Structure 1
Amino acid sequence: MDSGDNEVVVDFPHFIRVYKNGRVERLFGSPIVPPSPEDPATGVSSKDIDISPEFKARIYLPKLTNSITDQKLPILVYYHGGAFCLESAFSVLDHRYLNRIVAESNVIAVSVEYRLVPENPFPVAYEDSWAALQWVGSHVEAKPGFEKEPWLVNHGDFEKVLIGGDSAGGNIVHNLSLRSGSESLNGGIKILGSLLCFPYFLTSIDFKEDSLPSKLWRFVNPSTKDGVDDPNINPFVEKAQSLSTLGCSKILVCVAEKDELRNIGIKYAEAVKNSEWKGEIELIDVEGEDHCFQIFDTETEKAKNLIKEIASFIKKSCV
């Protein structure tokens, strides 16, 4: 073995390590689990699907509560967290969480397994996430050769599409919401609601260069000349696309008291509210909790309450 094989070139203790030979060791994350024909706790069914030759998704269908076999449900396209370099749509944490969200909200969810840094250079995560949203829209007017997903065809309401995500997933939701404000989506679908839980935003004012979130961002996006003032991670800089162009009707931002990203999430909600964007925005601030707490343990009282509030937002957005 070449001695360079064990040489570490990037090291974030407890998170991720990259070796000189390109090997990546992820130190943070939860085990991968298979989909469930029927989750015993929620009755939600799930299966894995190919979005493209490059990446997959896990689709969730709630237990149908009546005898109408063609019941139409809102569609939630979901993006997991992990600083663009960690975790998976197929992890036990995200699988359990999506089961809860789907059961409580009575939606079909498409949880996207976008490709991660560093094996796939940024902004591949954005492109995969946009492609997944376009894939959903392609079911409206499918071209010859496009293979439709039966759960979406039989039970999806393409006039009630939402996008949501936690942490890096919340960042993805913001950037996709902006993109949908200037680019059309397949099938003419519109984003009714955007859900940003504990969104991963940074600014050079709020975060020092040597802070973990700032260093992770420079690892994720090494080609940026603006560091944490890159418009992808800092929605407040002058060169960022105007918040007034967000292409959705309603937004929910969730933050938590002990999360170091809390203040910037509140700042984002206020900036959107003060822009010329014509939609409605809500902010939920959970006392005594930390970043993405409701995913790490779905059974606490505050986690259950937040999931119910997220479900309420989804239902209100679809009225």
Structure 2
Amino acid sequence: MPRVPIQPFTLTFLQFQLKMASNASAKQVVTEIPGWIRVFSDGTVERPRDFPIVPPTLRDSNTGVCSKDIAISNNPPEPISARIYLPNITDSQTQKLPIYVYFHGGAFFFESTFSKLYDDHLRKLASDAKVLVVSVEYRLAPAHPLPAGYDDCWEALKWVASHSDSAKYPTHNTEPWLIHHADFNRLFIGGDSAGANIVHNILAFRFGPQPLPGDVKILGAVLAHPYFYSSEPVGSEPVTVLDQNLYNQVWNLAYPSVPGGLDHPFINPLAPQAPDLAQLACSRIFVCVAEKDGLCERGVWYYEAVKKSGWQGQIQLFHQKDEDHIYHLLKPSLNQDTRNANKLINLMASFLVN
């Protein structure tokens, strides 16, 4: 039987199949938290829950808030950047504004300060509270495991505080909005989920032993649905094998080398070797929890521990029924019922200005 020549299309299709098979063998999933992150052998990462990145706005048509992206540090190994928000003020207004340095959530391995999720939220908060917001873009795991994110946020906070002394402004990347509009007697820090964890760790580990430039103090802190955990369940939390526990999987991916696992003080603020909560370095704290959030009881646990610690500041807890994790961020961005979200944002705004 004569040999039938392979047609060009068939050859091309076979080559395509071989190439795909080769790529499949070269690119394997090495780490995965289903639905949250996939890490491949070639170093690429899929983060399916990321919101789209949006640009800053010269002047938002709804709120009048101006925003821009700024460089905080160009030093290796990675530059630190931020998005800064200035509420609508007239040229004749000379009153200085409170400063709110914000650390976004996302389990230390996804999301961005430049995403729609955080841009929507912080534009509204800047407008409602009339505060100057600096939202920090920190390095993410797995390429940059903790403590990289903690380090970046601390460096960003120091950079903000360095604008407080006109004789000692930073030698580079000076930000005019901070120089002309910021009231450094009213400096707040805040974050949601992993960002709220960062807030606690700055108050507990960084600010006490390491004063901020200009001897700037942190007046208050907002911890929204904070990501804390431990190897022992709290309250009605289900007892699960740690390897199957989502919060343990997240922590192992974010900080794989950490001694003590879920009982390291960075994730367990009540661990035996954790800093004394009575020494938290601010005078006011606002803790927010949501009933349907798997971390709800951890937020209450933290609130009660701070109250019992002998800390001399004022701490308040807001518990929202029938809502889940970071509802105040998700519902406005997804055009869902925003009544409870707006209520919490109003409470945050009141905390920042009163």
Query: Could you say which TM-score interval applies, normalised by the shorter chain?
Result: over 0.9
Instruction: Give the superposition deviation at 1:24.
Output: 1.1
Of residues 184, 192, 195, the one that matches 1:158 is 184
Conserved in 1, the CA contact under 8 Å of 2:102 and 2:133? yes
Q: Which residue of 1 aligns with 2:103?
A: 79
1:95 aligns with 2:116: no
Output the CA distance in 2 between the equivalents of 1:181 and 1:275: 16
> Matched residue of 1:171: which SS?
helix
Moved over 3 A (4+): 1-5
Change (3 A) 1:171 1:144: closer
Cα offsets for 1:200-223 (capped at 9, x unmatched): 000111264121111111111110
Which one of 183, 194, 206 corresponds to residue 168 of structure 1? 194
Shift of 1:70: 3.1
Q: Is the 8 A contact 2:73 2:173 kept in 1?
A: no
**Matched position secondary structure for 1:182:** coil
**How far apart are residue 23 of structure 1 and its match?**
1.3
Provide closer, same or farther for how the CA distance between residues 144 and 191 of structure 1 changes in structure 2, counting only shifts above 3 A: closer
> Structure 1 residues 143 and 106 mapped into 2: Cα distance closer, same or farther (>3 Å)?
closer
**Counterpart of 2:340?**
302
Whether 2:94 is the aligned partner of 1:70: answer: yes
Structure-2 separation of matches of 1:101 and 1:39: 13
Contact 2:145 2:256 in 1 (8 A): no
Instruction: Say which one has the larger Rg.
Output: 2
Alignment of 1:270-281 (within 5 A): 270-281=304-315
Amino acid at match of 1:24: V
Deviation of 1:67 (Å): 5.0
SS of the equivalent of 1:294 reads: helix
In structure 2, the residue matched to 1:122 is: 146
Distance 1:46 1:147 in 2: 16
Secondary structure at 1:311 match in 2? helix
Query: Are 2:101 and 1:55 equivalent residues in the alignment?
Result: no
User: Could you tell which deviates more after superposition, 208-217 or 73-82?
Assistant: 208-217
SS in 1 for 2:185: strand
Residue identity matched to 2:164: V
For residues 131 and 144 of structure 1, the distance between their equivalents in structure 2, rounded to whole angstroms, comes to 12
Matched length: 315
Q: SS at 1:138's partner residue?
A: helix
Partner of 1:41: 62
Q: Secondary structure at the match of 2:57?
A: coil
TM-score, with structure 1 as normaliser: 0.95
- Establish whether residue 187 from structure 1 lines up as the match of residue 225 from structure 2: no
Counterpart CA distance in 1 for 2:178 and 2:87 is 12
Q: Tell whether the 8 Å contact from 1:181 to 1:248 is kept in structure 2 after alignment.
A: no
CA distance in 2, matches of 1:311, 1:4: 52
Report deviation, 1:181.
2.1
Q: Which runs of 5+ in 2 are unaligned?
A: 1-21
Deviations 1:274-303 (A, max 9, x none): 102110000000010000000012361100
- Using the TM superposition, give the Cα deviation of residue 225 of structure 1 relative to its aligned residue in structure 2, in angstroms: 2.6
Tell me which residue corresponds to 2:37: 16
TM-score (norm 2): 0.86
Cα distance 1:8–1:270, how it changes in 2: closer, same or farther (>3 A)? same
Which residue number in structure 1 is paired with residue 7 of structure 2? none
- Against the structure 1 CA distance between its residues 257 and 37, is the aligned structure 2 distance closer, same or farther, given a 3 Å change threshold? same
Q: Is contact 1:71–1:154 with CA below 8 Å preserved after alignment?
A: no
1:86 counterpart SS class: coil
Q: Distance in 2 between matches of 1:103 and 1:182?
A: 34
Matching residue's letter, 2:245? S
The 3 A distance-change label for structure 1 pair 100 and 2 is same
Across the aligned residues of Structure 1 and Structure 2, the Cα RMSD in angstroms comes to: 1.4
The structural deviation recorded for 1:74 is: 0.4
1:90 Cα deviation after fit: 0.2
Paired residue type of 2:344: L
Structure 2 vs 1, CA of residues 55 and 159 (structure 1 numbering), >3 Å: closer, same or farther? Answer: same
Q: Counterpart of 1:200?
A: 227
Does 2:246 align with 1:212? yes
Deviations 1:34-64 (CA, angstroms, capped at 9, x unpaired)? 0011112211110000011112100000001
Match among 281, 285, 292 for residue 247 of structure 1: 281
- The amino acid across from 1:51 in the alignment is I
121, 127, 130: which one aligns with 1:106: 130
